């Protein structure tokens, strides 16, 4: 009997050891952090998101983890409350065709021909749009048509004022506020050769996108509905960009921001990312990209 008990103890010990070994070998696909760099659970983040009026979900456009989490967040919010989705990936002058697709007036082939879909639409955004379509969730095209942002990059914000009234309708009301002292815009003067090639027009082109997306969000926000907005992280990082414009108009709304960063080791958030957003998705640098 004693010999039998020793065998059982040995088996249990080995099972426990190998169980720990396998657990140690598991690798996380992401880790969530608070603005202060503390680890938080998805459940805790969702609790905060459910209280938000407007959520700015900052992504890296080719990151599959961020796109998957956008889907999960939308799905979980939809289970508990009314939501609307806005997206940088759709331009305002494509709204009619987008709505027609969501209401099944046109098919996928027509959507592809009528809307300027991003090259990674089918892999990164289509699942969420199909979810919205199936659940009658409005999707708002919030971004400025790219040709107008290009005009600003080449000729400054003043060039937009010469546009016909019907074209200005696709843009935030002019003139927009522009503060070059905001760190995000100031940094762009030296980013990607911005200072050498276009001076302040580079950050101004970013600002007209931010202002137009903020205007679109508020134009379509309804009290009692949570507005989930998808945008590149730089458009809302450090509580600037879109959020700065939103707060100029509606400072009393409850805003929640999310950002996405990449690290070699995701077990501890690097200090340079502290304060980037209310919630920070930390993804391994080796994560496969969608393009």
Average pLDDT over residues 168-191: 95
pLDDT at residue 261 greater than cutoff 80:
yes
pLDDT digits (tens, 9 = 90+) for 100-154: 999 999 999 999 999 999 999 999 999 999 999 999 999 999 999 999 999 999 9
Per the listing, tokens 């903020």 go with: 214
pLDDT of residue 5: 45
Determine how β-strand 31-34 pairs with β-strand 279-284.
antiparallel
DSSP 210: H
pLDDT of residue 23: 44
pLDDT at residue 87 greater than cutoff 50:
yes
**Distance in angstroms (rounded) separating the CA atoms of residues 252 and 136:** 28
What pTM did the predictor assign? 0.90
Confidence of residue 9 (pLDDT cuts 50, 70, 90): very low
* 221 CB neighbour count, 10 Å cutoff: 19
For residue 29, which of 263, 219, 247 has the smallest C-alpha distance?
263
Query: What are the domain boundaries of the chain?
Result: 30-284
Top pLDDT among 228 and 16 is at: 228
**Which strand (E) or helix (H) includes residue 259?**
strand 255-263
Burial code (b: 16+ CB inside 10 Å, e: under 16) for 38-49 equals eebeeeebeeeb
pLDDT digits (tens, 9 = 90+) for 58-73: 999 999 999 999 999 9
Contacts of 128 (CB under 8 A, 6+ apart): 67, 70, 71, 74, 85, 230
Q: In what order do the strands lie in the sheet with 139-143?
A: 31-34, 279-284, 255-263, 54-59, 226-232, 83-91, 139-143
pLDDT of residue 134: 98
Cβ–Cβ < 8 Å for 238, 210: no
Average pLDDT over residues 32-52: 98
Q: Which fold has domain 30-284?
A: Rossmann fold (3.40.50)
- Rg (alpha carbons) of the chain, rounded to whole number: 23
**Distance in angstroms (rounded) separating the CA atoms of residues 207 and 183:** 12
pLDDT at residue 16 greater than cutoff 50:
no
Contacts of 85 (CB under 8 A, 6+ apart): 74, 128, 132, 137, 138, 139, 140, 227, 228, 229, 230
**Which strand (E) or helix (H) includes residue 6?**
helix 2-25
pLDDT of residue 173: 98
pLDDT at residue 222 greater than cutoff 70:
yes
């Amino acid at each position: 009997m004693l010999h039998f008990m020793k065998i059982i103890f040995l088996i249990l010990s080995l099972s426990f050891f190998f169980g720990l070994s396998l657990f140690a070998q598991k690798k996380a696909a992401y880790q969530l952090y608070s603005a202060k760099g503390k680890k938080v659970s998805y459940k805790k983040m969702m609790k905060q998101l459910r209280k938000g009026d407007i959520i700015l979900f900052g992504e890296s456009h080719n990151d599959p983890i961020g796109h998957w989490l956008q889907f999960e967040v939308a799905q979980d919010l939809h289970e508990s409350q009314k939501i609307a989705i806005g997206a940088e990936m759709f331009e305002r002058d494509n709204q009619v065709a987008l709505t027609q697709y969501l209401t099944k007036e046109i098919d996928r082939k027509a959507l592809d021909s009528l809307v300027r879909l991003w090259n990674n639409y089918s892999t990164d955004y289509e699942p969420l749009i199909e979810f919205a379509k199936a659940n009658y969730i409005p999707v708002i095209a919030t971004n400025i048509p790219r040709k107008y942002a290009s005009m600003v990059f080449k000729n400054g914000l003043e060039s937009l004022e010469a546009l016909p009234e019907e074209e200005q309708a696709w843009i935030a009301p002019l003139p927009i506020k522009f503060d070059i002292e905001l760190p995000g815009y100031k940094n762009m003067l030296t980013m990607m050769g911005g200072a050498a090639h276009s001076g302040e027009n580079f950050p101004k082109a970013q600002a007209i996108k931010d202002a137009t997306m903020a205007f679109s969000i508020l134009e379509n926000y309804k009290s009692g509905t949570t507005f989930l907005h998808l945008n590149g992280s730089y458009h809302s990082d450090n509580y600037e960009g879109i959020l700065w414009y939103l707060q100029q108009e509606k400072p009393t709304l409850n805003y929640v921001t999310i950002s996405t960063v990449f690290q070699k080791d995701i077990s501890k958030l690097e200090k340079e990312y502290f304060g980037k957003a209310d919630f920070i998705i930390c993804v391994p640098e080796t994560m496969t990209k969608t393009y």
